[in-house]
Amino acid sequence: MSQLYHSLDDLKFDNSFVNTLPADPIEDNYCRQVSNASFSNVRPKLSSAPKLISFSAEMAEALNLHESVCSTKTFTEVFSGNKVLSEMHPCATVYGGHQFGNWAGQLGDGRAINLGEVLTIDNTRWTLQLKGAGPTPYSRTADGLAVLRSSIREYLCSEAMYHLGIPTTRALSICLTGEEVERDMFYDGNPKKELGAVVCRVAPSFTRFGHFQLPAAMQNYDLLRKLIDYTIRFDFPEMDLPVDSANQFSNESILEWFQEVCKRTAMMVVEWMRVGFVHGVMNTDNMSILGLTIDYGPYGWLENYDPDWTPNTTDANGRRYRYGNQPQVALWNLVQLANALYPLIKESSPLENALKSYQETYDRYNQSMLASKLGLKEFSPKTDGKLAEDLFQLLGKVETDMTIFFRKLALVQKTQNFLDEETAYKILLPAYYKPNENTNQYKSDLNIWLKSYNRRLQDERSSADERQRAMDQVNPNYVFRNYLAQLAIDEASTGNFQPVNDLLSVLKKPYASDENNHEYAHKRPEWARHRPGCSMLSCSS
């Protein structure tokens, strides 16, 4: 274990972003168009009665902070926005983006404020960011604040995704502000007062595709190149790309970097598909240049397997960001990033070649992922593509919980004659939402697939126990279902924050099987099927 600090004052700040890139010269905090700058200096809004709800001990340790620091008054003041440490340099960054396929122009950190960049003892860089800490020049008509329900969802999901092994931003803490915030959750003209809260998000960098799109759209190619040079130098140091005589990265280096972005994005989306995660709002301004899951708004997990499902009410008609379309949307977003780089590269074919690496990487990792979910050591193109396709068609024929099905599939033992149809079906039965509606034809189709699966397993050189252990390491037992989030939110709204911490504790071990936590592994209850917050959510969620 690394040395741990016992005071926030021991943190070492580097703040490379604000020290390297041009600042907005206007210091006043009001909404405006910003030119020739990458950020605006801004301070968080003071909270009237900040209160710490929860913190992530693992994230604190990653920052070299001793857990005891998180219980101090200073910690609550800093991460609610009431105090700025001397070495911090708070700012809001500016970017653009495509939203639902349409260019939206300038966007920026409308309710996020970077506090600064921490360099840990092992030289790891972490950017600390408050979400919900007040307005910035990019808040447009909004107030820059956040409510408790959306903050709990962001805080818990960030840590849940990390422990699932999915590239993601992290969360250090969540604090109440002591104030109420007005929100119209469903945009139906019925706003309500809700408890205000602030989440401290943490990531190596919060740079998005939209950071590069905006200067390209404004034809500010000098700023674009500065941002690219900064990003490669500070966010991708492990690539160790050469620079030219002007200490800039050549076009060849930029193309190599872009290819790396394509690969990381592909690997991230494969991980989403593995666990049934649906981001819900894959706008280009919500795409991390590091291939991290970022901006937890109207996300959700597939309950019953449905590739056309989207958790986002704003996306209900077009379903652009539905589960099954996420791989294609990620590629579309990368094409927009390539368009932003084109003015510097001045050739389309090298960018197109780099984009090919997305599909190649996605296909390779997706095949490996499917094999692991099925308990296979390697993916065999001759058999396994059809085997997986037939299974997902089966999952979609009746209302089947994807998470539970794969977890139970690991219990269906490999034998020479496999299990009889009735025994296998009983093992899988907990995955079905309406088992009484499963027809004899469906059961027959399932049995045919199970026999094909068994024949494939005969090629494996692993025991049934080995296969189960391997499958249980990639098919989670606990995922952050929306109804679990809503139950914790309901309790927190009454002042009881223990369910938030209890849920965090379970989500830190998503692949475990603990009888004491069996209720967290249940499929969505019927009361949650259409309840607000448990099914679909709006962008204000």
User: pLDDT, tens digit, for every residue of 272-322?
Assistant: 999 999 999 999 999 999 999 999 999 999 999 999 999 999 999 999 999
Please state, in angstroms and rounded to a whole number, the distance separating the CA atoms of residues 518 and 478.
9
Buried b (16+ CB within 10 A) or exposed e, 163-176: bbebbbbbbbbbbb
Q: Is residue 511 part of a domain?
A: no
Say whether both 196 and 227 belong to one domain. Answer: no
Q: Which of 53-67, 185-199, 413-427, 429-443 has the lowest mean pLDDT?
A: 413-427
pLDDT tops 80 at residue 540: no
Q: Is residue 256 part of a domain?
A: yes
Q: Is residue 194 part of a domain?
A: yes
- Please state, rounded to an integer, the average pLDDT across all residues of the chain: 94
How confident is the model at residue 33, as a pLDDT? 96
Give the mean pLDDT of 234-247.
Answer: 91
Residues 6+ apart with CB under 8 A from 241: 232, 249, 253, 256, 257
Buried b (16+ CB within 10 A) or exposed e, 98-134: bbeeeeeebbbbbbbbbbbbbbbeeeebbbbbbbbbb
The CA-based angle 354-360-366, given to 5 degrees, is 140
Treating both helix axes as pointing N-terminal to C-terminal, what angle do 402-409 and 464-472 enclose, rounded to 10 degrees?
150
Could you tell me the pLDDT band of residue 187, with boundaries at 50, 70 and 90? low
Centre a 10 Å sphere on the Cβ of residue 141 and count the other Cβ atoms it contains.
Answer: 6
Say whether both 268 and 354 belong to one domain. Answer: yes
Say whether both 16 and 82 belong to one domain. Answer: yes
Q: Is residue 360 part of a domain?
A: yes
How confident is the model at residue 541, as a pLDDT? 43
Last residue in a domain, options 206, 227, 252? 206
pTM for the model: 0.96
Nearest C-alpha neighbor of 22 from the set 225, 165, 181, 199: 225
| Domains in the chain, number | 3
Give the mean pLDDT of 236-250.
Answer: 90
Give the mean pLDDT of 353-361.
Answer: 97
Q: Is residue 240 part of a domain?
A: yes
How confident is the model at residue 183, as a pLDDT? 86
pLDDT tops 60 at residue 1: no
Say whether both 291 and 320 belong to one domain. Answer: yes
Q: Is residue 79 part of a domain?
A: yes
Say whether both 431 and 449 belong to one domain. Answer: yes
Q: Is residue 514 part of a domain?
A: no
Say whether both 365 and 406 belong to one domain. Answer: no
Say whether both 131 and 220 belong to one domain. Answer: no
Q: Is residue 503 part of a domain?
A: no
Say whether both 278 and 321 belong to one domain. Answer: yes
Could you tell me the pLDDT band of residue 416, with boundaries at 50, 70 and 90? low
Nearest C-alpha neighbor of 80 from the set 192, 173, 205: 173
Say whether both 277 and 305 belong to one domain. Answer: yes
Please state, in angstroms and rounded to a whole number, the distance separating the CA atoms of residues 422 and 420.
6
Which domain does 40 fall in, by range?
8-206
Radius of gyration of the chain, Cα coordinates, nearest whole angstrom: 24
Our answer to whether residue 390 is catalytic in this structure is: no
- Tally DSSP H helices, then E strands, for the chain: 16, 11
Please state, in angstroms and rounded to a whole number, the distance separating the CA atoms of residues 138 and 108.
5
Last residue in a domain, options 164, 189, 206? 206
Say whether both 169 and 215 belong to one domain. Answer: no
Name the residue type at position 532: P
pLDDT tops 70 at residue 2: no
Please state, in angstroms and rounded to a whole number, the distance separating the CA atoms of residues 406 and 404.
6
pLDDT tops 70 at residue 27: yes
Q: How many residues are there in the chain?
A: 541
pLDDT tops 90 at residue 435: yes
Please state, in angstroms and rounded to a whole number, the distance separating the CA atoms of residues 484 and 492.
12
Say whether both 395 and 295 belong to one domain. Answer: no
Please state, in angstroms and rounded to a whole number, the distance separating the CA atoms of residues 418 and 409.
13
Please state, in angstroms and rounded to a whole number, the distance separating the CA atoms of residues 195 and 172.
20
Last residue in a domain, options 166, 183, 206? 206
Please state, in angstroms and rounded to a whole number, the distance separating the CA atoms of residues 528 and 525.
6
Please state, in angstroms and rounded to a whole number, the distance separating the CA atoms of residues 87 and 19.
12
- Which one of the listed residues 229, 285, 295, 306 is annotated catalytic? 285
Say whether both 152 and 244 belong to one domain. Answer: no
